[in-house]
Amino acid sequence: MSDPQIVLADGLNGHLCEELAALAQHCIAGFSDDRPVSSSLVRSRLTNALTGESPVLAVARDGQEMVGWCAVRRPEPGEARARLWGPVVAPSARRTGLGTALLDTVVEAAPWPLMTTDVPADRDGAADFFLRSGWTPLDTITVLHGAPADRAFDAVTAEGVEDLDAYVAASARQFGCHEQAFARATLQRWRDDARFQARNLLLDPATGSLLLALAQRNAVGSELLLAEVWAATPEVSRKLITAAHTAAAAQHLATVRAVTRQGPADFVACGMHITGRCATFTLHR
């Protein structure tokens, strides 16, 4: 392999998102964070939801073949840090310094404090890579998987709910501990995610609690990701998690997945099992 050429991309387009998704899917296969990755997922995760701005994106190519990429999603209102995605490096280009070169390229181009996405503990050397690069540990995350439950689905969803913006903002402030400006913008951010469907935003109106689930399908598989659980009590949390499993079955999804920074007890109590641990890292400016 010749020395890959690294360039900063000028925006996102459909073909580029497909390339980014295909390489990401290839690189996570078999690890605890293995999941369906589509071009729409890449676009929604890298694009600033409120402004529509494209990420700071470095792409490495060996000739016409993409062999690596690394991106920084610009911070949204209420976010103290921008979010780093990657570096993603093809197996054929690993241990060549390409990951470090991609990381250095986006760090130099992005002026904000940064944090990584979830770095699986079972990926050899990943944590050491960020530590060697001057990043510091920030948080620990648990990854869980569960099986859809084929029962009657009778949960309250966001479909047809009046003043849903106020409901979500109140839940974000009370149970998600978000600042007021960020809480007000939460529902719009969720709606801008290509995976969002109102039927998978599950509510408990009596307490103002909610569970956000995101359905994702591609040629590799399908899942319902339990992305946020903001609940007044463990009992309400477990009620919503159980309802999400029945929603997954009703939509013929193969897997239910959860990624949580809180204790996993409520998920385990609903029949989910821990498949991995992840860490996040931060780079101070």
Coil, helix or strand at residue 190: helix
Q: pLDDT at position 1, please?
A: 58
E-assigned strand segments in the chain: 5-8, 56-62, 65-73, 82-89, 114-116, 119-120, 136-146, 156-157, 201-204, 209-217, 222-230, 255-260, 273-283
Residues 271, 149: one domain? yes
pTM (2 d.p.): 0.84
| Cis upstream peptide for 264 (omega within 30°) | no
Task: Find where tokens 């360039």 sit.
Answer: 7
Instruction: Please check whether residues 111 and 148 belong to one and the same domain.
Output: no
Q: What is the pLDDT along the chain (285 residues), one digit of tens a residue?
A: 568 999 999 999 999 999 999 999 999 887 777 788 989 889 988 988 777 889 999 999 999 999 999 999 998 776 789 999 999 999 998 889 999 999 999 999 999 999 998 898 888 789 999 999 999 999 999 999 999 999 989 899 999 888 999 999 999 999 998 888 889 889 988 988 888 999 999 999 999 999 999 999 988 889 999 999 999 999 999 999 999 999 999 999 999 999 998 889 999 999 999 999 999 999 987
Q: Are residues 193 and 251 in the same domain?
A: yes
Q: How many domains does the chain have?
A: 2
Q: Which residues constitute the domain of residue 84?
A: 5-117
Distance CA 52, CA 206 (A): 35
For the chain, how big is the Rg over CA atoms in Å? 19
In a domain, 131, yes or no: no
pLDDT at 35: 82
Query: Are residues 168 and 266 located together in one domain of the fold?
Result: yes
Residues 204 and 246 in one domain: yes
Residue 64 lies in a domain: yes
Contact 196, 45 (CB under 8 A): no
